[in-house]
Amino acid sequence: MTQRLSRTAYPDLPRYPEKMIQFGEGNFMRAFVDWQLQQMNKQGLFQGSAVLIQPLENGLGGMLAEQDYLYTVLLNGIHDRKTVNDREIVTSVSRLINPYTDYEAFLALAEDDRLEFITSNTTEAGIAYRPEDTLDGGPQVSFPGKLTALLYRRFQLGKKGFVLIPCELIDRNGEKLKEIVHKYAEDWNLGEDFIRWLEQENTFCCSLVDRIVPGYPRDKAAELEQELGYRDSLMVTAEPFLFWVIEGPAWLADRLPLAAAGLNVVVTEDMTPYRERKVHLLNGPHTAMVSLGLLAGLETVEDVMNDEVFSAFVDRLLQDELIPMLDLPRPELESYAESVLERFKNPFIRHELTSIYLNSISKFKTRLLPVLLRYVRERGELPPLMTLAFAALLLGYRADRLKPQDSPEVLDAFREAWSRPDEFITAILRKSEFWGQDLTAVPGLEAKLSSMLKLLEASGSRAALEQSLGGEIVCSE
């Protein structure tokens, strides 16, 4: 039996002082931020590690401790026309603090002058205000609540602030986080001096992350452990591609020399165009393909891309409905779309559609709906492929057909709406809390969704797609 990955088994692995506090110990952060710290460290450019804070009571703390906070990142894919198949033991995580079991150790981080960065990924649900959180009743449940308590302790000690770079996939994440921290500062009566210190001593950056991280390679774990020669319950697969846009001051590029280490990181004054490009051209097609693909029995992004009908759908969606609605220069959009198609076809990683399916209603709202609405405004008609994807989404949630995982409010609303089948579509489109507006006001949408739902039910998603794509499939045969 092979030994577990640990510092005892690999005593020569380097250790670095803690320079970053990272809320979130999930797959993404370990294969993205911590992997990048590792690349800087290897070049002698950062010489620092991250101390992780477990945002939820239950998490990976125990498993990470068992491996002395070491884990393997497996990069698989084609990059710059070369096949990449890298394995690396990441040594840039020092330890993990679970604030639910050791709140004092968490607050004690405020004392360490070497800590200068705070990063986070607590999912789209994490940057949220929770009125029940209080300063004295720690640990606070919300991530911004915990963060405010830590910042306040730092302020009380008269120390300098932090550079904060949240990585959650929500628009203007840094501003949102700052806003909630300020709200706690006011609600908890932390005083004007603290609010001034927050403003003057801390730099809240917005950021956009891009790397496909399918996570633990369940299907290949045993084989990989044989090859690696150790057991690792936390190994994580990722694509070689990486892009991190940080909206922040130019000096950040020196303090956190990611680009200098050859990493694809941009520090800019305005990240909006990068965000639009990524959210609509990468996350958008992901969300559009999921319900249609699952309804046809497909399991992974690769299955979608290897299927003639479904890959034509992704291609046409990008070319005809998404790219023309974005404001960036066409060649830039075309080239990004091409790279997206290549990344989706990555034959070396298994990106499960079910993992992308999680919380699909809010994803549709941010990733596809704004483009759909713009298409209607500009062209005076509905985009056929996006509308079909919308109908498939509704079908998947209806009667829990595709076993959606979403918030209780969303799932309950779908159950309630389905209790009156004739009014199902109207009731769902009226849910402004899902879509940001009443979608029954969009001309023709209700009727089109109704006919597409019927088509999907009667003929299945493959036939519905073939019909929407018209002659193109026939032509390509």
Ligand X SMILES: NC(=O)c1ccc[n+]([C@@H]2O[C@H](COP(=O)([O-])OP(=O)(O)OC[C@H]3O[C@@H](n4cnc5c(N)ncnc54)[C@H](O)[C@@H]3O)[C@@H](O)[C@H]2O)c1
Residue-by-residue DSSP string for 126-184:
HS---TT--STTPSPSSHHHHHHHHHHHHHHTT----EEEE--SSTTHHHHHHHHHHHH
Q: Is 263 in the site for ligand 44H (CB under 6 A)?
A: no
Hey, what amino acid is at 398?
A: R
Among 63, 84, 341, 358, binds ligand 44H (CB under 6 A): 358
Q: Is 211 in the site for ligand 44H (CB under 6 A)?
A: yes
Residue 91 or 311: which CB sits closer to ligand 44H?
A: 311
Least distance (Å) between residue 304 CB and ligand 44H: 13
How far is Cα 327 from Cα 273, in angstroms, rounded to an integer? 8
Residue 197 or 397: which CB sits closer to ligand 44H?
A: 397
Binding mask 451-470 for ligand X (x = CB under 6 A): --------------------
Binding mask 122-151 for ligand 44H (x = CB under 6 A): ------------------------------
Measured CA to CA in angstroms, residue 171 lies from 48, 273, 276, 278, 366 at distances of: 29, 12, 10, 12, 9
Of ligand 44H, ligand X, none, which one does residue 27 interact with (CB within 5 to 8 Å by kind)? ligand X
First to last CA, the chain: 51
The residue ranges of DSSP E strands in 277-425, in sequence order, are none
The kind and range of the H/E element at 440 are none
Tokens linked to 403? 């076993």
β-strand partners of 89: 72
Residue 53 or 213: which CB sits closer to ligand 44H?
A: 213
User: DSSP secondary-structure letter at 26?
Assistant: S
How far is Cα 86 from Cα 304, in angstroms, rounded to an integer? 25
Residue 135 or 358: which CB sits closer to ligand 44H?
A: 358
Residue number of the CB atom closest to ligand 44H: 286
Least distance (Å) between residue 120 CB and ligand X: 8
Of ligand 44H, ligand X, none, which one does residue 356 interact with (CB within 5 to 8 Å by kind)? ligand 44H
Residue 26 or 217: which CB sits closer to ligand X?
A: 26
Least distance (Å) between residue 26 CB and ligand X: 2
Binding mask 106-135 for ligand X (x = CB under 6 A): ---------------xxxxxx---------
Residue 24 or 48: which CB sits closer to ligand 44H?
A: 24
Of ligand X, ligand 44H, none, which one does residue 143 interact with (CB within 5 to 8 Å by kind)? ligand X
Q: Please give the residues from 5 up to 44 whose contact with ligand X meets the rule CB under 6 A.
A: 24-28
Q: Is 212 in the site for ligand 44H (CB under 6 A)?
A: yes
Measured CA to CA in angstroms, residue 465 lies from 116, 181, 294, 386 at distances of: 51, 46, 13, 11
Q: Is 171 in the site for ligand X (CB under 6 A)?
A: no
Of ligand 44H, ligand X, none, which one does residue 286 interact with (CB within 5 to 8 Å by kind)? ligand 44H
Residue 280 or 430: which CB sits closer to ligand 44H?
A: 280
Size, binding site for ligand 44H by CB under 6 A: 9
Residue number of the CB atom closest to ligand X: 26
Among 337, 356, 395, 465, binds ligand 44H (CB under 6 A): 356
Which among 339, 243, 232, 214 has a CA at the least distance from the CA of 285? 339
Stretch of residues binding ligand 44H (CB under 6 A), selected from 130-138, 139-147, 208-216, 227-235: 208-216
* Bond into 139 cis (ω within 30): yes
Q: 219-227: long-range contacts (C-beta < 8 A, 24 or more apart)? A: 219/350, 224/74, 225/2, 226/2
Least distance (Å) between residue 236 CB and ligand 44H: 13
Of ligand X, ligand 44H, none, which one does residue 277 interact with (CB within 5 to 8 Å by kind)? none
Q: Please give the residues from 312 up to 341 whose contact with ligand X meets the rule CB under 6 A.
A: none
Measured CA to CA in angstroms, residue 67 lies from 7, 23, 102, 358 at distances of: 7, 19, 20, 29
β-pairing verdict for 117-120 and 93-97: unpaired
CA dihedral sign of residues 279, 285, 286, 292? positive
Number of H helices, E strands in the chain: 24, 12
β-strand partners of 266: 245
Which among 236, 350, 241, 355 has a CA at the least distance from the CA of 303? 350
Least distance (Å) between residue 451 CB and ligand X: 33
Among 169, 258, 428, 449, binds ligand X (CB under 6 A): 169
- Residues near ligand 44H (CB under 6 A) are 169, 210-212, 282-283, 286, 356, 358
- Residues near ligand X (CB under 6 A) are 24-28, 55-56, 59, 121-126, 143, 169, 209, 211-213, 215
